[in-house]
A and B are shown apart, each in its own frame.
Chain A
Amino acid sequence: MSENQNTPGRDVTAPNAAAHPERFDDPGVPAHRSRLTDVDPKAAKRNERLIALIFGISCVGAIASIVVYFAVRPDGTTAGTRLSTALLGTTMAISLLGIGIAAIHWAKSLMSDHEHVDERHTLASSPEVREVAVQHLADGVEDSGIARRGVLKGAAVSALALFPLTFAVPLISSVGGDWNVSKFRHTIWERNKRLAYDPSGRPIRAADLTVGSAAHVIPEASQEEMRSHEWITEKAKAVVLLVRLNPEDLRSDQSPEGETWSYDGIVAYSKICTHVGCPVALYEQQTHHLLCPCHQSTFDMADGAKVVFGPANRPLPQLPITVDDEGYLVAQDDFAEPIGPSYWERLK
């Protein structure tokens, strides 16, 4: 009985096992139970009428759908579109569900419910069939002579291996544009480029920013420039979040020795998360924390945009800013490091 030791629940010692079979016998398919419709012709008739009625409702639904299509024209308002959508969809659903319910009820209540038994057959082919199959393959190999003609085999394999290149090389070399991945390093920010409000494009005067303000910033550009794909792609790297803190609240920023990247409590950081590139935009002005709505990386704007929570690892890169003669905020230069998510050769 050692085998049974790790068998939980075995609390009964089997006495005289020889007298009993090792396992129970299959009792066979349970006896068929007749339905009401099988024994009562009235019930069958009733169900038949019911099924016909449901099919009829489906017909009505389909026709109603056509009527609704022509009769209820959406008037361009939200409510109008909603009404048209709801009526078209509901009538369509009635026509569909009618067919479905009727067909299934028919199958369940009127079609024969005697269970059938099909035999299964082993999937594996019989030894004879296998033998013939193997012989066929052997004959084919023999006929082709591939085993004897080594050079031919090599040549054929080479040709087959090379031909995909005729397809892949043109595709791959064109599909990535100019493949110049060094574009990740630069944005269109440059010395003396004015900071402007997104989306209006108005330049920002330092004096206009009150403490506690947050402004979503793009480089100043003409309306014309802003209507192109090039702009969207550049904007995707250049967007900046600008906030004004009490100068005494600003504990640190990313300015190197001897430089000042902030201006009177105003700091500008890239809005593209260093995690996977979402726009980090939830600025909480009391805690000076900036939260990313995608993955909840949190950056401390009062402390060099350091990561205080979440999956990001690096601070947001700071845009060095100052003011020009007219009091507008301008960039001192491009970002000192690539913005956005990390990539393999980022530091190269």
Chain B
Amino acid sequence: MSTDTSPSAADAPTTPAGKAADYLDQRTSVGGAVKEFARKVFPDHWSFMLGEMALFSFVVLLLTGVFLTMFFDPSMALIEYHGDGPEAMQGQLMSVAFASTLDLSFEVRGGLLMRQIHHWAALVFMASIVVHMMRVFFTGAFRKPREINWLVGTVLMILGLAAGFSGYSLPDDVLSGNGLRITDGVVKSLPIIGSYLSYFVFGGEFPGEHIIPRLFTVHILLVPALILALIGVHLFLMVLHKHTQYPGGGRTHKNVVGYPLFPVYIAKMGGNFFIVFGILALMGATMSINNVWNYGPYDPSPIGAGAQPDWYMLFLEGSLRLMPGAGTEWVIFGYTLSLNVLIPAVVIPGLLFTFLFVYPFLEARVTGDKREHHVLDRPRNVPVRTGLGVAFLTAFVILALAGSNDLIATHFAMSLNQITWAFRILFFVGPVLGFWITKRICLGLQRKDRELVLHGHETGRIVRFANGEYIEVHRPLDEQERWLRVNYDAHKPLEIEPATDARGVKRPGYKKDKRWQKLSRFFYEDRVEPVTPAELAAAHSHGEHDEVESAQHSPELVSGAENADREH
């Protein structure tokens, strides 16, 4: 056996750790991976931890979820309850699923804690996904080469909705049962296939005796498996692309500036996992959530005030609430088309999700930009994107508020009907206003940046010249400050080839190009160009007598004068 691949005897590891590493490496070539990844650089910023928060909430969901599956029994068999649960539940007829939820909350010590952590983690999971997506959107992190990862992330968000909804329904209580009933109503409204799809979901008529076991499989196998797989893809692509970084000195599209994975990020990320878990544990310990025994076991007759889904589905609830019913149910050749359900429950969410899916490609098309982008945009520097994002969020928030209109009515002593009308109008006006205001604010901030770069910081110091003239002394920006404000591209609308060629022949595809140009104009018509060195020089010479010169004349401004000199 002369084919010994281990290092020569002289380098043979002597320590136990070294021996173990050698053993592993000979079987897995893990050394290569460690070499590649151990000191991989990650940029540091708080907003880069939002995705981490989602990931870690998901890990907490898996951990607590495993705990819960040990005690939960997803059976719809009916039993009479006698257990350690609340007095009001004793002797009631309920499904085994509901009874086992009571048992795991009241008989299993720590069970209620785990259930509450699980539910809080689910709410925080979705919330952190949303803020993570906001960060990615507003900073343009979805641009080439990350478009595919944006799609993966959006699918993950939708899977999160599915996971949440299926889990919310598992205890088989009145609140979630009515949620399922609404789902059934929405499914039935689908043209042609509605009734059959309802049977498909419920295994017959609503509610039947199959839905809870089916949702259980979806909740603990199907959706988590898909989420895990896609998280794998999401993180793989993130590592492959290397993380984006905020603009700043020395940060370019060709590099990544930050701290090494080992040890700094291992400690920070690992620490953040424990912080996320700790905060969720604290919430589970002190704040009650989804007390299903308040709602009682599912029965098709009762309903409670405040019948709402978890927050991430509220936009659908609000959408359903806002749609006026009069005249929106059409009968065509004897077939019923319920637009009062289809529009709010299918079309509106469809539009919202379509926007998320197509936006990166749309923006790339109207920008005509095929470069890779690794330095993030400051939201102000892309006013239309930022405006569109705010418009989207405005629509989402208005729908979610409309889904809470009864609580708004009771807490602010208003009329339910008036609130509904206000939201009906706001749903159309709000996003437009949101877009417009945001765009104006962005342009204003860009101009402010130009002002700062050209004229420096106001110092509040007033200086009088010998001739009696007063001026305020401005302090020029240092080069890091300035770089942050001038280092961006103000994209221009697409330029297209003329309608006819040199010989006057009509060019095919001109109309299509023209339409894209129109859209491109919408994006980039209004723009503020970054200050160029020439402009800065011009500003200095123009304002010489009131800025630079004054600084040189006034003895207390030496440092400012030095700065100004260096720049020339």
Contact = CB atoms under 8 A, between A and B. Distances in A.
Given A104-B275, A228-B78, A345-B195, A233 B334 contact: no
Interface in B183-207: 184-186, 188-196, 198-200, 203-207
B301 A177 contact: no
A107 B482 contact: no
Contacts of A148: none
Interface in B330-372: 331, 334-338, 340-341, 344-345, 372
Interface in B67-86: 76, 78, 84, 86
Given A90-B282, A236-B207, A314 B252 contact: no
A181 B454 contact: no
Nearest to A112: B264
Contacts of A273: 185
B486 interface: yes
B121 interface: no
B320 interface: yes
B256 A30 contact: no
A15 B443 CA distance: 25
B325 A307 contact: yes
Interface stretch (B18-26, B241-249, B390-398, B504-512): B241-249
A176 B416 contact: no
Given A296-B321, A296-B406, A347-B335, A103 B203 contact: no
Contact of A233 (B93, B206, B525, B539): B206
B286 interface: yes
Nearest to B248: A30
B250 A28 contact: yes
Given A120-B374, A278-B303, A311 B249 contact: no
B529 interface: yes
A83 B434 CA distance: 46
Given A14-B535, A293-B304, A116 B259 contact: yes
A89 B117 contact: yes
A229 B336 contact: no
Nearest to A92: B281
B228 interface: no
Contact of B303 (A4, A98, A294, A342): A294
A98 B282 CA distance: 13
Given A120-B254, A311-B344, A341-B188, A293 B303 contact: yes
Q: Which of A16, A78, A111 has the most C-beta atoms of chain B within 10 angstroms of its own C-beta? A: A111
A194 interface: no
A295 interface: yes
Nearest to B528: A9
B405 interface: yes
A341 B341 contact: yes
Contact of A239 (B84, B301, B304): B301
Given A117-B257, A343-B195, A276 B335 contact: no
A184 B307 contact: no
Contacts of A27: 249-250, 479-480, 483
A315 B480 CA distance: 68
B189 A343 contact: yes
Contacts of B191: 344
A183 B205 contact: yes
B538 A15 contact: yes
B258 interface: yes
Contacts of B331: 347
A237 B198 CA distance: 15
Contacts of A311: 320-325, 340-341, 344
A110 B205 CA distance: 64
B538 A14 contact: yes
A296 to B, nearest CB: 6
Interface in A263-313: 271, 273, 275-279, 281-282, 293-297, 307, 309-313
Interface stretch (A42-50, A68-76, A139-147, A323-331): A68-76
Nearest to A14: B534
Interface in A82-141: 84-90, 92-94, 96-104, 106-108, 111-113, 115-120, 122-123
B518 interface: no
Contacts of B299: 199, 232, 235
A291 to B, nearest CB: 8
B329 interface: yes
Most-contacted residue by chain B among A88, A122, A295 (CB, 10 A): A295
Contact of B112 (A85, A103, A183, A199): A85
Contact of A236 (B116, B248, B300, B483): B300
A155 interface: no
Interface string B379-400: 0000000000000000000000
B553 interface: no
B498 interface: no
B534 A177 contact: no
Contacts of A102: 271
A312 B284 contact: no
A246 interface: no
Interface string B437-460: 000000100110010001000000
A10 interface: yes
B311 interface: no
A287 to B, nearest CB: 12
Interface of A is mostly: loop
A277 B182 contact: yes
Nearest to A279: B303
B232 interface: no
Interface residues of A, number: 115
A6 B529 CA distance: 10
A69 B271 contact: no
B101 interface: no
Nearest to B453: A24
Interface string B31-66: 000000001110000000000000000000000000
A310 B40 contact: no
A275 B341 contact: yes
A237 B78 CA distance: 19
Interface string A192-209: 000000110000000000
B329 A313 contact: yes
Interface in A219-234: 227-229, 232-233
A289 B71 CA distance: 44
A69 to B, nearest CB: 6
A12 B189 contact: no
A273 B184 CA distance: 12
Contacts of A21: 533
A346 interface: yes
Nearest to A73: B109
B527 interface: yes
A29 interface: yes
A248 interface: no
A179 interface: yes
Q: Which 5 A-B pairs have the closest CB atoms?
A: A89-B285, A276-B185, A100-B274, A29-B250, A177-B204
27 contacts: A8-B443, A9-B443, A10-B529, A14-B535, A22-B532, A23-B532, A26-B250, A27-B480, A29-B249, A81-B105, A85-B116, A89-B113, A89-B117, A90-B281, A98-B274, A100-B274, A104-B272, A118-B256, A176-B199, A176-B204, A177-B208, A181-B199, A277-B206, A296-B405, A310-B324, A313-B327, A342-B341
Given A111-B264, A341-B189, A343-B338, 19 more contacts: A12-B542, A23-B532, A98-B274, A100-B275, A100-B278, A107-B267, A111-B267, A120-B242, A198-B301, A218-B301, A227-B78, A232-B298, A233-B207, A236-B205, A295-B317, A311-B324, A341-B341, A342-B189, A345-B195
Interface of B: 39-41, 76, 78, 84, 86, 93, 105-106, 109-110, 112-113, 116-117, 145, 178, 181-182, 184-186, 188-196, 198-200, 203-210, 240-242, 248-260, 263-265, 267-268, 270-279, 281-282, 284-286, 298-307, 317, 320-329, 331, 334-338, 340-341, 344-345, 372, 374, 405-406, 416-417, 420, 443, 446-447, 450, 454, 479-480, 482-483, 486-487, 490, 492, 525-530, 532-535, 537-539, 542
